[in-house]
A and B are shown apart, each in its own frame.
Chain A
Amino acid sequence: GAVVSQHPSWVICKSGTSVKIECRSLDFQATTMFWYRQFPKQSLMLMATSNEGSKATYEQGVEKDKFLINHASLTLSTLTVTSAHPEDSSFYICSASTSGRLYNEQFFGPGTRLTVL
């Protein structure tokens, strides 16, 4: 099946720093990538949807200037959490899908656990 990787798998940083998370589709071209966030005992919440070469579409309540998304190629999307604060500590998961069907299966990366001190 399609493989999606994320890097890093976990990161601990100080408050105020920026953290970049990479999401790569390893064996297919992902026309669309999604970024989710999951707090403990909560559901995955979609943060933004990005299509290669265009600006990401952010969900209501997600600050686009704080969560910078770049989808420069069909195999790579990055999420940068700028000026991270403890409340940004969460499990960030990306997924990728290809085009061509009404429902395009999403393939999930293994997630990145962010802890902001």
Chain B
Amino acid sequence: RKEVEQDPGPFNVPEGATVAFNCTYSNSASQSFFWYRQDCRKEPKLLMSVYSSGNEDGRFTAQLNRASQYISLLIRDSKLSDSATYLCVASSGYSTLTFGKGTMLLVSP
């Protein structure tokens, strides 16, 4: 079983739509969670950390359910510039990151 699983998509949505991505992780020792964004042929960039209490950064909301080992990312009012691959990441601590394969988002005019 893969350690971090995501639906690869692509998710095709119109501008202004709300879209949600889900992710599950198998390592119950994971302590920290993140969403990264990766543009085509570029390096991943940290989008936001994910906290148990849930956190919001502008149009982006991330949530964590430790009991279900489930992480989500909600994007409201999608922009064309949001088109990218979103990587779910789990860490068991001390810098080791485990990446999911990513979910591709395509926002169209």
- Min distance, Cβ A45 to any Cβ of chain B, angstroms: 8
Interface range on chain A: under 10, 10 to 19, 20 to 34, or 35 or more?
20 to 34
Contact A105 B46 (CB under 8 A): yes
Q: Is B48 an interface residue (CB 8 A)?
A: no
The answer to whether A43 touches B41, judged by C-beta atoms less than 8 angstroms apart, is no
Judge whether A43 and B94 touch: CB under 8 Å.
Answer: no
Would you call B95 and A97 a contact (CB within 8 A)? Answer: yes
Looking at chain A's contact residues, is the secondary structure mostly helix, strand, loop, or mixed?
A: loop
How far, in whole Å, are A91 and B38 apart by their CA atoms in the complex?
13
Interface bin, chain B = 20 to 34
Main secondary structure of the interface of B (DSSP, over half): strand
Contact of B99 among A44, A49, A97 (CB under 8 A): A44
Best-surrounded residue of A91, A97, A104, A106 (most CB of chain B within 10 A): A106
In the assembled complex, which residues on chain B have CB atoms less than 8 Å from the CB atom of A41? 8, 101
**What are the interface flags for A76-102 relative to B under an 8 Å C-beta threshold, 1 for contact and 0 otherwise?**
000000000000000101000100001
From known contacts A41-B101, A46-B96, infer whether A103 and B31 are also in contact, taking CB-CB under 8 Å.
Answer: yes
Residues of chain B in range 9-51 having any CB-CB distance to chain A below 8 Å: 31-32, 41-46
- The residues of A with any CB-CB pair to B shorter than 8 Å are 32, 34, 41-46, 49, 91, 93, 97, 102-106, 108-111, 113
**Which B positions have Cβ atoms within 8 angstroms of A?**
4, 8, 31-32, 41-46, 87, 91, 93-102
The 10 closest A-B pairs by CB, nearest first: A108-B43, A43-B101, A43-B99, A44-B99, A103-B32, A104-B95, A111-B43, A97-B95, A110-B43, A93-B43
